[in-house]
């Protein structure tokens, strides 16, 4: 057996706690030995519930902690790039929660640093690639199950939050396409075989959260992306679903179509009663992708141990940002925008 990987995690918000629990309890080969947060209560939580021994309030000391082999970043998006660079330069493997950056040039800087540390693992958390159904879809396409894929339809639709937490978050989220559709963009590229995107058109509406208007954002957005060679993608992102979280993707090819996630069953249970036949729907992406989060971290840790080669690269993250930015510009201009 390869030696265990000694991991430190920075950022212990909602998603950070999930990653920490995964690393501390259920990731074979990982030892969660350090945590970093400016929030004392979060560090207390890491110590008390997961037994994490070394607690840092300061990222600089954390990133240089000599016991650490790998760093997991679940910090605010604006910090991702510089912290990833610092981790790589300190000789650590690094996992960065998505997005790497809202800015293409910044993504490219991180890529450049990573190229100078080819023996370090650098991975962005496009978690859907680790979902068994999406992984199987990709494998089926490679095996020719649908012929030549040429069209992707993909949606990320969140259950409505009546408090509209995301409205406050809107000024820094990069907008609905950068926040939600970026996953669909990455999936579309992956399923289509990474063609080059050329143009994007977006159109959206505010159905329930007027507060979004101030920062030019919408709560329901559509977008069409054109690729070299003729492939097309159409995305739908929504913050206002009544029924739950429904993330689904269709890939259409010359000999068939694959779909993932339609219906968003929470489990294998159906109820028949006076209202008809129904099933519960997933509440949020945590529920939808719980297994994928586990496999994602398994994959990262395995890569740190030298087992397996990552298919997902920093460049994938850069390209998703590039397309997402063109879509976002189109939402504002009302015109198709070049992807550049």
Residues 38-77, interacting with a copy of itself (CB under 8 A): 48-49, 51
111 φψ region: left (φ > 0), alpha (ψ -120 to 50), beta (else): alpha
Is residue 278 within the footprint of a copy of itself (CB under 8 A)? yes
Closest approach of a copy of itself to the CB of residue 106, in Å:
29
Closest approach of a copy of itself to the CB of residue 130, in Å:
13
Among 67, 194, 203, 340, binds a copy of itself (CB under 8 A): 203
Among 13, 65, 133, 310, binds a copy of itself (CB under 8 A): 133
Is residue 141 within the footprint of a copy of itself (CB under 8 A)? no
- Nearest residue (CB) to a copy of itself, 163 versus 335: 335
Is residue 271 within the footprint of a copy of itself (CB under 8 A)? yes
State which of positions 81-120 bind a copy of itself (CB under 8 A).
none
- Nearest residue (CB) to a copy of itself, 29 versus 91: 29
**DSSP annotation string for 11-73:** --SHHHHHHHHIIIII-TTEEEEEEE-S-HHHHHHHHHHH---EEES-HHHHHT-TT-SEEEE
Pairing outcome for strands 337-338 and 197-205: antiparallel
229 φψ region: left (φ > 0), alpha (ψ -120 to 50), beta (else): left
Closest approach of a copy of itself to the CB of residue 12, in Å:
17
- CA-CA distance, 13 to 59, in Å (whole number)? 15
Is residue 276 within the footprint of a copy of itself (CB under 8 A)? yes
Among 18, 91, 211, 232, binds a copy of itself (CB under 8 A): 232
Among 6, 153, 189, 305, binds a copy of itself (CB under 8 A): 153
Closest approach of a copy of itself to the CB of residue 250, in Å:
9
Among 103, 259, 313, 315, binds a copy of itself (CB under 8 A): 259
Is residue 327 within the footprint of a copy of itself (CB under 8 A)? no
**Beta-carbon contacts of residue 41 (< 8 Å; ≥ 6 apart):** none
Pairing outcome for strands 220-227 and 5-10: unpaired
Q: How far is CA 114 from CA 81, 87, 101, 123, 310, in A?
A: 11, 10, 15, 10, 14
DSSP label of 215: G
- CA-CA distance, 13 to 165, in Å (whole number)? 15
| Segment lying near a copy of itself (by CB under 8 A), choices 63-71, 86-94, 274-282, 320-328 | 274-282
58 burial (CB, 10 Å; 0-12 / 13-18 / 19+) is exposed
Closest approach of a copy of itself to the CB of residue 129, in Å:
14
Is residue 313 within the footprint of a copy of itself (CB under 8 A)? no
Structure tokens at 236: 């739908």
Is residue 17 within the footprint of a copy of itself (CB under 8 A)? no
**Beta-carbon contacts of residue 230 (< 8 Å; ≥ 6 apart):** 150
Total chain residues near a copy of itself (CB under 8 A): 76
Closest approach of a copy of itself to the CB of residue 258, in Å:
6
């Amino acid at each position: 057996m390869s030696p265990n990987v000694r991991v430190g995690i920075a950022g212990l918000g909602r998603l950070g706690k999930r990653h920490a629990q995964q690393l501390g309890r259920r990731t074979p080969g990982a030892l969660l030995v350090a945590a970093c947060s400016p929030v004392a209560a979060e560090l207390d939580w890491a110590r008390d519930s997961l037994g994490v021994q070394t607690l840092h309030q300061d990222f600089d000391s954390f990133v240089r902690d000599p016991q650490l082999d790998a760093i997991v970043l679940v910090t605010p998006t604006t910090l991702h790039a510089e912290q990833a660079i610092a981790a790589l330069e300190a000789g650590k493997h690094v996992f960065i929660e998505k997005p790497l950056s809202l800015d293409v040039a910044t993504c490219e800087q991180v890529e450049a640093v990573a190229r100078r540390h080819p023996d370090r693992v650098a991975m962005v958390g496009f978690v859907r690639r680790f979902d068994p159904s999406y992984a199987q879809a990709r494998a089926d396409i490679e095996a020719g199950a649908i012929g030549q894929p040429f069209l992707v339809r993909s949606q990320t639709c969140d259950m409505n939050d009546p408090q509209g937490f995301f409205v406050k978050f809107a000024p820094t989220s990069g907008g609905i396409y950068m926040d939600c559709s970026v996953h669909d963009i990455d999936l579309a590229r992956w399923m289509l075989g990474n063609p080059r995107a050329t143009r994007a058109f977006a159109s959206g509406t505010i159905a329930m959260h007027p507060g979004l208007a101030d920062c030019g954002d919408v709560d329901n957005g559509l977008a069409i992306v054109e690729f070299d060679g003729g492939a097309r993608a159409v995305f739908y992102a929504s913050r206002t679903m009544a029924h739950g979280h429904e993330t689904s993707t269709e890939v259409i090819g010359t000999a068939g179509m694959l779909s993932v996630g339609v219906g968003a069953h929470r489990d294998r249970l159906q109820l028949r009663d006076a209202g008809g036949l129904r099933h519960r729907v997933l509440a949020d992406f945590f529920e939808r992708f719980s297994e994928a989060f586990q496999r994602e971290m398994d994959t990262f840790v395995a890569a740190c141990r030298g087992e397996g080669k990552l298919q997902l690269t920093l460049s994938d993250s850069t390209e998703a940002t590039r397309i997402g930015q063109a879509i976002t510009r189109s939402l504002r201009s009302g015109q198709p925008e070049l992807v550049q």
